[in-house]
Amino acid sequence: MTDRNGPILSARGLSREVDGRHLVDDVSLDVDQGQIIAIVGPSGAGKSSFLRLLNRLDEPTAGTVYLEGRDYREIPATELRRRVGMLMQAPNLFPGTVADNLRFGPTQRGETLSLERIAELLDRVGLSGFADRDVGQLSGGEAQRVSLARTLANEPQVLLLDEPTSALDVDSREEVESLIIDVIRDRELTCLFVTHDAPQARRLAGHAMVMEAGCCVTTGPVEEVLRA
């Protein structure tokens, strides 16, 4: 059953224990449709580990996640990863052209991404005319924009971003950040993103969650949380 009025994504007692260590320890969080949440906290706090649990890239050792009210363990992995898209810190494109990379997700689902749609996606990320470029020739910022376009090709409902601009040089960092802001607003995406950059958290997010030692220690409006 899906519950259209409830949170779009709900972590319940979400935990991951590896070799007796709690990387993520009993985190519960409700995310409403359209909400943008920054995940902050010291290095090693479990922010990336938490994000990876949200689309089941890693398996929880306790707890679960509900996507529109449905336990995500009941949702086939390909469907789940389409609906909950992820953008990593460094672009992880595979060798080939830009278009090959954009087609990857849809092809896995037996769908064809039209040339028109490819052009539209590239236009969206400011890379018109890049379809036939070899990804080996792209700058870091361009590659990250292709990664974003590839995620968007799957038309996700929820977007997870793990320090999406921290590996870029300062100029492309600003470019990619403003692109991300535009895309999120355009599509009214629900979004969770990890950042070490408090000003970036304020620019992008309405809410923030602070993690320490695998636990969620605070959640609330970003201004209140970051002031504390």
Ligand X SMILES: Nc1ncnc2c1ncn2[C@@H]1O[C@H](COP(=O)(O)OP(=O)(O)OP(=O)(O)O)[C@@H](O)[C@H]1O
Sign of CA dihedral 213, 214, 215, 221: positive
Q: By CB under 6 A, which span of 5-13, 39-47, 68-76, 100-108 interacts with ligand X? A: 39-47
Q: DSSP secondary structure string, 182-220?
A: HHHHHHT-EEEEE-S-HHHHHHH-SEEEEEETTEEEEEE
CA distance 161 to 119: 23
Q: Is 46 in the site for ligand X (CB under 6 A)?
A: yes
Out of 44, 96, 129, 221, which residue is the one contacting ligand X (CB under 6 A)? 44
- Between vectors from CA 155 to CA 33 and to CA 1, what angle results, nearest 5°? 50
CB nearer to ligand X: give 105 or 164. Answer: 164
Q: Is 49 in the site for ligand X (CB under 6 A)?
A: yes
| Near ligand X in 3-32, by CB under 6 A | 18, 23
CB nearer to Mg ion: give 48 or 55. Answer: 48
**From the list ligand X, Mg ion, none, which binds 44 (C-beta under 5 to 8 Å, kind-based)?**
ligand X
Min dist. Cβ of residue 47 to Mg ion (A): 5
Reduce the DSSP state of residue 121 to 3 states and report it: helix
CA distance 150 to 38: 22
Q: Is 10 in the site for Mg ion (CB under 5 A)?
A: no
Min dist. Cβ of residue 112 to ligand X (A): 35
Reduce the DSSP state of residue 34 to 3 states and report it: coil
Give the number of other CB atoms < 10 A from CB of residue 113. 18
**From the list ligand X, Mg ion, none, which binds 77 (C-beta under 5 to 8 Å, kind-based)?**
none
Packed helices 98-108 and 140-152: angle between N→C axes, nearest 10 degrees: 20
Min dist. Cβ of residue 20 to ligand X (A): 10
Q: Is 56 in the site for ligand X (CB under 6 A)?
A: no
Min dist. Cβ of residue 100 to ligand X (A): 29
Out of 10, 48, 55, 147, which residue is the one contacting Mg ion (CB under 5 A)? 48
CB nearer to ligand X: give 45 or 86. Answer: 45
CA distance 214 to 217: 9
Binding interface with ligand X (CB under 6 A): 18, 23, 41, 43-49
